Structure 1
Amino acid sequence: MPLSLYAFILCLMYLSSSKAETCQNEGEEFHRFFVVNGQPLHLPCPIYHGSMTENNFSVSWYKYGSKNPIGFDRMSRIHQHENYLKFIPAVLEDSEWYLCVLGNSTQCYQKGSKVEVFNYDEGVCYSKPTLYPAEGFTDQSISLQCPHMEAYFDDTSTKIEWFKDCIPLNLSSDQYYAIKNALTITKGTKENEGKYTCEAPYYFNGTRYKLSRTSDLVLRAPLKQSSPAIINPTNNIMHVDLGSFVSVTCTVLFKKESVAFDFIYWTLEDGDLIENYVGYNEWIIVGDLYTNSTNDNEHWLTVDLNFTAIREEDYNRTFFCSTTSGSRAFIMFKHPDPNFQGFLIVFFVSLVIVIVITLILFKIFKVDIVLFYRSNCVAKVILNDGKIYDAYVMYPKNTNRNSSYTMDIFALKVLPEVLERQCFYRLFIFGRDDIPGQATVDVIDNAISQSRRLVIILGNTSSEYRLENDFEQQIAMYDALIRNKTKVILLELERIADYSNMPESIKYIKQKQGVVRWKGEFTEANLSTSSKFWKNLRYRLPPEQPQSVEDSNYITTDDL
């Protein structure tokens, strides 16, 4: 053999073994292949179809666990011929799984088939595991086929012998006659029940072998005709996803009075068999017919319709489960209804997150939001509540009359500069806005009742300054907390660590609503309305009014 040809053969063997390992696995063939020890067996490739030859598919067979393909040598007892794996003959040691690999340059598939080899049972010409079930009815003619012989010989020229319970049948009698590979019993009786064996010669490489098949015939009394009941499907619609695997079972119940023997099958809406559907053997497969007798009064027939992957052309088509007696029921596939559950979950979770974040941001920027809203979203109108002043300002008086006293500077100059001049608030400050000669109590009482807020400026209590006018404080607290319920704003000009010496009313207000605390010096930056202190104070004051204040003394940073 030339070296180049030898290398080419080795390359093909390597590719075949590699293909068996990397091909798409189609699982295992459901049916087992039974054969009697010493008889030939032709094992067909379970995934091979005649049309595949047009696509240059090649077939290779492997024994499970082996990486070497089975050869084509006809002199070998086990060899491959076309898509068949042939055992001539099969022996007990051949009971094993065999793998068929089908592929071309772009595709590759593999599927396994099980071979089981048996000896004859003792004293008979058959083996029970290899029996084929057969049914018939008394007082009717019965036809028995010699099962699965098509791949072995030409039934028109091969002579087939028939046996009942291993005894040759007299085919010249009126009770039996045989045509090709079928045996007909003219009129069945209970005596006709038994094991019917068909035998045919098989020649290979000059050697004669024997092929035999045995059917176990059971006869029943004929049943009266009645319509079978289709249990499933129920003329229903299934909502299935595109590309999903779907299996629908046609289930029919036959009563005792049903026809002697009935078949069920799947058809299209026009009555054509499902085998004529464009997708048959590609993604649609009809399963085997199964029968099950629950008791003497009824039996069931079932056959599956399997869609390996639902395609668009399968939607809105009706597939009928039909019986030979004319009964039928359909199943139709529809696209699934939209599933909004995931969207709703995401929506509501997102909504909760947005609400939580909004609440957190509002809490952090509440003052800025309220001030922005007042300035841009609400038209400035004069409040018609009958009050003249936006705030009554009360602060500890300087007992030493020191003009540089910080409290006086803040109350009489800084506060009016920002609130009255820049923000247009109207303040009443006792000692600045009262008219000399008026009764102090009346002035204070009247001014507080005409004010929308009460601003109390606090500082560290010392011998140098204090809330001198106790009656002013008492009137203010009485008016704010009891009579008119005026809102109070506590303003710390200096940080007060201990409120134990403060009046109970001050401590009560601080506990309920806190204080606004001044920090830093009286600089130009600190006099800006955008600083944190003035924002907090403006937030507690009423909305700014659209009028300016006249006849007030204002300061600039040069005066401080």
Structure 2
Amino acid sequence: MTPRSQQIQEVHKMLGQLFIFVFLISTSHSCLLLGGKVQETLVPNGEPFFVRCPLEPPVSDNSYNITWFINGSKTEISTDLQARIHQDSNHLKFFPARLEDSGFYLCVYSGANGCWQEVLQVNVFQNDNGLCYKDEALYTYLLFREKSLRIECPDVTDYVDPATAQFHWFKECEPLNMTTGKYLMIKQFLSITNVIPQDNGKYTCVTLFIHNGTNYNISRSITNTIRELPLTVKPNILYPTDNFIDAELGTSVTVTCEALLNSNLILTWRYNESFISEYSDDGRVIEEIQYEAVKDGQKVACQNITFSSVKEEDYGLRFYCSADNTLAYIQAFFILKRPGPNLQGLLIAIFVTAAFLIITTIIIIKLFKVDLVLWYRSSCFSHPHQNDGKMYDAYIMYPKNAIGNCTYDMDLFVLKLLPEVLEKQCTYKLFILGRDDLPGQAIADLVDEAISQSRRLIIVLGQVSNETNLGVDFEQKIAMYDALIRNEIKVILIEMEKITDCTFMPESIKYIRQKQGFVRWKGTFTEASLSPNTRFWKNIRYRMPPAPRHSDKDLDYISTGNL
């Protein structure tokens, strides 16, 4: 609008106000004039239009009367419903409105409670050249951009029923293509999907209105302005989270409400829809001033609530933190509860005790493994009976070509001590070559058969074994084949003395010695060494298969001693 046109418009307004003043003086109505600024109604030329009297009668007044006057005339407007301009109750109706109908109209209300009057200005306009609307008469819609928007064809429900009326929509006076799926019509509403900035513009809706057999068009034009959503987002409360908080009776507790900071955010603590200040009369529950902080790299708004001394009545109640901004209002609560029993000390004690028992058990098993196994074999839980079909519990292999005292000690140990303890006292059955073979038997076959019929292979080593072969050459080969290749027999190594040089020891014996270990004889050839409950014989019995059950008391008929 140019400055010249603005000046002309201001002059017209001044003249209009002057006309109203003259009009009111010239009227003879003695009713009280209401209103200050004159209400202006814009009416499209050639279309029917209803102007409503703003004076609403009281519900209790059934004898009221509303009368319309025009342009200072003392003659009321016709009530003939067939007239082009007529009054119908509190409406002034135009069928249709014409440019010459522009002017000031007086609505007079008289009833049992008094008399009032109000002036209205009707301005019948012509659309702008070449357009289907007039800029000054546009309805204004300001919408925020979302996935879909809805525009209403305004002020048409007094004329047609939106459920049955047919609406036509135009944008910039061009018909909308309703077949693309972008636009949908629901009654008097136009829905726009997949909204983009190009959906801004001027929209016009047109519908048909029939009066006294004459068809009229009713049109409304809207300017639609779509804006991006403001930076303000909906509130997001980080804490509390509808959770419980442990609080000892009589202690002081502070709870902080935290929410992501955005514009116009206000945090308040409430109880039962009331401010927290109304919760307690003694002032022990205090809401502090809202402040800002940084948490995990994000700015948050914080609001503290402090219970100076928790009382019994505080337990089980919901205390709400409310977050409010221009978009939404949300809240979250917490509940105070008595803390449960502290089981941390008990759990630590149980864990330490269990760890101690486990470690102690492992140490006991490690130190007394041999004794525990032997005790188990002698208990009622053991089933020592052998069902493997073997004849011998052990095959004894030892050097047979030693010289000097070594031969005497070796023979004494093998032929005297082993049978005395293992056979007589422990009821094992041994096979000793040279003692259990018969004259004339084939030695090789006998050895092979005896080893295959034995559950253990006992190899007795001495220092002399470093320089000589163990037993007969074929005996050693058969024994090592069964022990290492077939893996059908377990080996028990007994060292008569400490072996310091293993240079001449057979590789097979070295391998068994390294893999399975050995038992060293440290005793003397005395009666005490015949007790099966000495450490040496317990280690031998541990490596032997279970024997028929005998208690240690039955075996210990000779006093024990440390060998």
Identify whether the pair has TM-score above 0.5, normalized to the shorter chain: no
Larger radius of gyration: 2
| TM-score w.r.t. length of structure 1 | 0.45
